[in-house]
């Protein structure tokens, strides 16, 4: 009974220590381990001590089965099954498996034959090893979670850049389309003018051909007097000049027509290139979104990994806290903002899907504000006048804008796509400052909106007008 008292005393100490641990990971280690200790499978009467320098623990009692752990000399394991036969079932670091029942490989100890002190010592050694194993698992989860957050951040930046390039290409595409329509209109006008002019030009060319055959001097010498001669000469000169002008005009129109057609062809080729670029960037976006979905699926399936990712996102939230705390109010003591409590407009046209302090339906939402679900590209407006003090990227939030409203009040707009305002710009109430995107969001196009008073988050729902 002494060893049992000592054993449960150890459990009690671990439980008390777990209560005072600050991080989620450390609590998880000790919580998992307390469950292990209180599980009936951890209180077996027989222990296997490894004799050989290296011993394979297999998933089935078979030499061909998968090796799930490699043990070292001196390792102690609980025997969870019957000892009869050539294999024994054991428990090691939470894994169940089989070892060869051979004195060369293992020594079997009956705990009932041990002194209470020795029994407690052996049991403590097993517990300590389990704690180290669980701690190593959590460290691996922690590292993997950090890697996932980093990869997610890179994916978000890649999506953001692809969207920016896509917006530019779409703008060029629309401008090229306008140019094509202008060129087509110009060509239509030139064709109409050429068609109207062509019959006259043909007639004048025929007339000039006849005139050249008859000869200018013959026509002039047919005049009956010197006065008629002079008049006829002037008339012929006018006719010839008019014909030359008409032919030159036709030639110029024809040249302009051909240049317009070449320009149209160039613009059409540009348009085809822009169409390919749009398809390419849409493909990049879809590829990055698929990567994002796969990562989310992995996080959702693995509870411990999910807890570690949440802890990493909380660190991102604390980074935002520090960013806001470091901002100096530039609007002076302006107490006007506080008079608008309950009267502010929604920053985006949408529906609140996550509440202040509670998060949303996703496995994690930043809880210092509200999440407002809206259409992608929806205009995001400043809820009040002030100065833009931050307009950049923050991991976990994507593109984010922070506005100083004076008297220690700041509004925060996260997961936006396109910035219309930069640091140092002044804004007025209900002015469009950005468009809604998915940057840094784990729930699609959801605006993360916060209000801070002297750096402390307050519930935005109490400040915006009820719908």
Q: Which domain holds residue 191?
A: 148-300
Q: How confident is the model at residue 250 (pLDDT cuts 50, 70, 90)?
A: confident
Q: What is the mean pLDDT of residues 422-450?
A: 89
- pLDDT exceeding 90 applies to what percent of the chain? 21
Domain boundary among 140, 163, 187: 140
Residue 30 lies in a domain: yes
Domain boundary among 140, 175, 195: 140
Structure tokens at 45: 């009467």
Task: Report the C-alpha gap between 118 and 332 in whole angstroms.
Answer: 71
Nearest CA to 128 out of 1, 30, 199, 249 is that of 30
Task: Report the C-alpha gap between 402 and 410 in whole angstroms.
Answer: 7
Same-domain check for residues 162 and 50? no
Domain boundary among 140, 172, 198: 140
**Which CATH number characterizes residue 222's domain?**
1.10.287.620
Same-domain check for residues 410 and 281? no
Tens of pLDDT, residues 302-339: 655 555 555 666 666 666 777 777 765 554 445 688 88
Please give the mean pLDDT across all residues of the chain: 75
Structure tokens at 94: 């939470």
Same-domain check for residues 205 and 179? yes
Same-domain check for residues 227 and 94? no
Coil, helix or strand at residue 111:
helix
pLDDT computed for residue 2 by the predictor: 38
**Which CATH number characterizes residue 334's domain?**
2.70.70.10
CB-neighbour burial class of residue 10 (10 A; exposed 0-12, middle 13-18, buried 19+) = middle
Same-domain check for residues 283 and 339? no
Q: Are 7 and 30 in contact (CB under 8 A)?
A: no
Task: Indicate the number of domains in the chain.
Answer: 3
Q: Are 402 and 390 in contact (CB under 8 A)?
A: yes
How many other C-beta atoms lie within 10 A of the C-beta of residue 266? 14
Same-domain check for residues 11 and 134? yes
Same-domain check for residues 371 and 353? yes
Helix H or strand E segment including 434: strand 432-436
Same-domain check for residues 279 and 189? yes
Same-domain check for residues 123 and 13? yes
pLDDT computed for residue 404 by the predictor: 92
Same-domain check for residues 296 and 333? no
Tens of pLDDT, residues 269-278: 877 887 777 7
Same-domain check for residues 285 and 224? yes
Coil, helix or strand at residue 280:
helix
pLDDT at 426 exceeding the cut of 90: yes
Q: Are 99 and 49 in contact (CB under 8 A)?
A: no
Which residues are 411's β-sheet partners?
403, 451
Task: Report the C-alpha gap between 165 and 171 in whole angstroms.
Answer: 10
284-292: long-range contacts (C-beta < 8 A, 24 or more apart)? 284/158, 284/162, 285/159, 285/162, 285/163, 285/166, 288/155, 288/158, 288/159, 288/162, 289/159, 291/151, 291/155, 292/152, 292/155, 292/156, 292/159
Which residues are 345's β-sheet partners?
none
Same-domain check for residues 110 and 217? no
DSSP 371-432: EEE--TT-EEE-SS-EEEEEEEEETTTEEEEEEEEETTEEEEEEEEEEES--TT-EE-TT-E
Instruction: For 186-212, give one letter per residue: b (16+ CB within 10 A) or e.
Output: bbeebeeeeeebeeebeebeeeeeebe
pLDDT computed for residue 463 by the predictor: 93
Tens of pLDDT, residues 110-130: 877 777 777 667 666 766 666
Coil, helix or strand at residue 433:
strand
CA dihedral sign, ordered 369, 370, 373, 378? negative
Helix H or strand E segment including 67: strand 67-72
pLDDT computed for residue 98 by the predictor: 92
pLDDT computed for residue 361 by the predictor: 42
Tens of pLDDT, residues 134-184: 666 666 666 666 666 677 677 777 777 777 777 777 788 788 788 788 878
Tens of pLDDT, residues 378-395: 999 999 999 999 998 887
**Which CATH number characterizes residue 9's domain?**
2.30.30.40
Residue 6 lies in a domain: yes
Residue 100 lies in a domain: yes
């Amino acid at each position: 009974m002494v060893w049992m008292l000592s054993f449960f005393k150890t459990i009690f100490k671990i439980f008390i220590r777990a209560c005072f641990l600050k991080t989620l990971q450390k609590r998880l280690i000790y919580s998992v381990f307390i469950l292990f200790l209180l599980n009936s499978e951890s209180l077996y009467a027989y222990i296997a001590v490894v004799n050989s320098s290296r011993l394979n623990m297999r998933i089935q009692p078979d030499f061909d089965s998968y090796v799930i752990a490699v043990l070292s000399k001196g390792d102690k394991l609980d025997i969870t099954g019957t000892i009869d036969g050539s294999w024994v079932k054991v428990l090691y670091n939470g894994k169940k498996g089989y070892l060869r029942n051979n004195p060369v490989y293992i020594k079997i100890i009956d705990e009932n034959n041990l002194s209470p002190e020795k029994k407690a010592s052996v049991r403590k050694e097993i517990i300590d090893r389990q704690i180290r194993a669980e701690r190593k698992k959590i460290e691996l989860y922690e590292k993997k979670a950090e890697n996932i957050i980093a990869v997610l951040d890179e994916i978000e930046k890649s999506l953001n850049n692809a969207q920016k390039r896509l917006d530019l290409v779409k703008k060029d595409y629309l401008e090229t389309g306008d140019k094509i329509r202008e060129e087509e209109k110009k060509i239509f006008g030139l064709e109409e003018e050429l068609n109207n002019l062509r019959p006259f030009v043909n007639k004048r060319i025929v007339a000039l051909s006849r005139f050249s055959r008859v000869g200018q001097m013959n026509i002039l010498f047919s005049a009956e007097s010197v006065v008629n001669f002079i008049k006829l000469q002037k008339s012929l000169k006018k006719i010839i000049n008019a014909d030359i002008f008409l032919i030159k005009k036709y030639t110029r129109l024809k040249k302009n027509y051909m240049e317009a057609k070449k320009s149209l062809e160039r613009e059409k080729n540009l348009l085809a290139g822009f169409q390919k670029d749009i398809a390419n960037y849409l493909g990049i976006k879809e590829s990055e979104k698929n990567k994002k979905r796969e990562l989310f699926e992995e996080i959702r399936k693995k509870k411990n990994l999910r807890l570690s990712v949440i802890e990493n996102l909380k660190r991102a939230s604390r980074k935002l806290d520090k960013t806001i705390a470091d901002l100096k109010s530039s609007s002076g003591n302006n107490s006007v903002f506080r008079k608008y409590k309950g009267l502010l407009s929604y920053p985006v046209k949408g529906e609140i899907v996550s509440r202040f302090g509670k998060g949303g339906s996703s496995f994690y939402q930043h809880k210092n504000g509200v999440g407002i679900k809206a259409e992608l590209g929806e205009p995001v407006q400043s809820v009040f006048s002030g100065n833009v003090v931050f307009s950049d990227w923050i991991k976990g939030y994507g593109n984010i804008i922070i506005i100083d409203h004076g008297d220690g009040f700041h509004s925060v707009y996260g997961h936006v796509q396109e910035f219309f305002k930069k640091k140092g710009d002044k804004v007025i109430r209900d002015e469009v400052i950005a468009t809604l995107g998915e940057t840094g969001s784990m729930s699609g196009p959801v605006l993360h909106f916060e209000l801070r008073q002297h750096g402390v988050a307050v519930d935005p729902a109490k400040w915006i007008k009820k719908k």
